[in-house]
């Protein structure tokens, strides 16, 4: 663990009830040497009131911007500028964390690596049950979900991603057989130097998907960084909600244009052209 100070950047838009569960899961982390940055793509009074009254036990910042459409990448760049940690961990405000989530991101942190884990996508019933609980054991939660799936009573997706396998476990070899897949914006981390080397998130993406993770991943690779999987190490439980987009083809087309000319340094990012 080379990085002693981390910034956990939480992307949010509305849903303070979801954020409460996420913040509660950060309180349960096995290590606490991190700051929290709540990166809001908007300026909701409801969110402001919740954050002002939440009993934080670690230092935090709440950053807002005018709500004039999807501008998550702009909000993320602003969070990076305001972060004090050398290692940046990105999650979403609808992802409840395993107690060793931050520890695993820091354990495998290295200057040349981009880390990314996975998540269980909870079905509506399981999500509502979790919302109602004030106290819960994350391992018991996983096995309850697994049991429901075996009995064909659950509809949660990617159940296998909720199994935490400790680095020194006799089952640690299982992770070697699991492919990396792709980077998820709700479960990724990298150094401050790395994100500045590609000028941050591309703010020309003004609709969800691709721009906040897939685009970042190929640009990191083009800049010489390597991807490392934290599957079954950095575990998340994604709360159920209605998705608010239908197609990401426009964003894919934009990314392909940049890939063809190997333009991994974006014009509108941390530094504006």
* Distance between CA atoms of residues 134 and 273, nearest Å: 47
| Torsion angles phi and psi, residue 238, rounded to 5 | -85, 120
**94 within domain boundaries:** yes
CA-nearest of 119, 94, 101, 8 to 56 is: 8
Range of the domain at 67: 6-260
52-60 LR contacts (CB < 8 Å, sep 24+): 54/20, 54/23, 56/23, 57/27, 57/32, 58/26, 58/32, 58/34, 59/35, 60/35, 60/36
- Which pair of structure tokens corresponds to residue 142? 């996983």
Contact 232, 161 (CB under 8 A): yes
* Distance between CA atoms of residues 107 and 199, nearest Å: 25
What pLDDT is attached to residue 109? 96
Helix or strand or coil: residue 131?
helix
**132 within domain boundaries:** yes
Q: For residue 150, what are the contacts with CB-CB under 8 A and spacing of at least 6?
A: none
Q: For residue 207, what are the contacts with CB-CB under 8 A and spacing of at least 6?
A: 70, 245, 248, 250, 251
The predicted model scores a pTM of 0.96
What pLDDT is attached to residue 83? 97
CATH number of the domain that residue 14 is part of: 3.90.550.10
What pLDDT is attached to residue 1? 53
**201 within domain boundaries:** yes
Angle (CA) 201 97 83, round 5°: 40
Total domains in the fold of the chain: 1
CA-nearest of 80, 10, 17 to 49 is: 17
What pLDDT is attached to residue 231? 96
**268 within domain boundaries:** no
CA-nearest of 162, 177, 171 to 118 is: 162
Contact 57, 83 (CB under 8 A): no
Helix or strand or coil: residue 137?
coil
Q: DSSP assignment, residue 160? A: G
**267 within domain boundaries:** no
Q: For the chain, how far is it from start to end, CA to CA, in angstroms?
A: 35
One digit per residue, pLDDT tens: the chain, 273 residues?
A: 577 789 999 999 999 999 999 999 999 999 999 999 999 999 999 999 999 999 999 999 999 999 999 999 999 999 999 999 999 999 999 999 999 999 999 999 999 999 999 999 999 999 998 988 877 888 888 988 999 888 888 889 999 999 999 999 998 988 888 888 889 999 999 999 999 999 999 999 999 999 999 999 999 999 999 999 999 999 999 999 877 666 789 999 999 999 999 999 999 999 986
**71 within domain boundaries:** yes
**253 within domain boundaries:** yes
**89 within domain boundaries:** yes
């Amino acid at each position: 663990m080379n990085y002693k100070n981390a910034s956990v950047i939480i992307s949010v838009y509305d849903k303070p009830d979801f954020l409460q569960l996420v913040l509660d899961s950060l309180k349960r982390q096995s290590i606490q040497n991190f700051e929290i940055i709540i990166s809001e793509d908007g300026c909701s009074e409801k969110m402001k009131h919740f954050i002002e009254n939440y009993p934080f036990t670690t230092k935090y910042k709440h950053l807002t911007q005018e709500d004039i459409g999807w501008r998550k990448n702009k909000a993320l760049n602003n969070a990076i500028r305001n972060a004090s940690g050398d290692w940046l961990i990105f999650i979403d405000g609808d992802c409840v964390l395993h107690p060793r989530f931050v520890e695993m991101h820091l354990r495998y942190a290295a200057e040349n690596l981009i880390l990314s884990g996975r998540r269980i996508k909870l079905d509506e019933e399981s999500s509502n049950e979790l919302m109602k609980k004030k106290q819960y054991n994350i391992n018991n939660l996983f096995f309850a979900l697994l049991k429901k799936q075996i009995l064909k009573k659950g509809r949660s997706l990617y159940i296998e991603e909720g199994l935490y396998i400790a680095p020194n476990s006799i089952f640690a070899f299982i992770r070697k057989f699991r492919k990396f897949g792709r980077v998820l914006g709700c479960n990724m981390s990298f150094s401050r130097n790395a994100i500045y080397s590609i000028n941050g998130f591309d703010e020309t993406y003004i609709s969800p998907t691709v721009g906040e993770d897939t685009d970042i991943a190929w640009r990191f690779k083009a800049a010489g960084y390597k991807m490392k999987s934290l599957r079954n190490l950095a575990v998340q439980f994604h709360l159920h909600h209605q998705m608010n987009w239908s197609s990401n083809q426009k964003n894919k087309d934009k990314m392909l244009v940049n890939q063809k000319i190997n333009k991994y340094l974006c014009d509108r990012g941390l530094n504006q052209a």
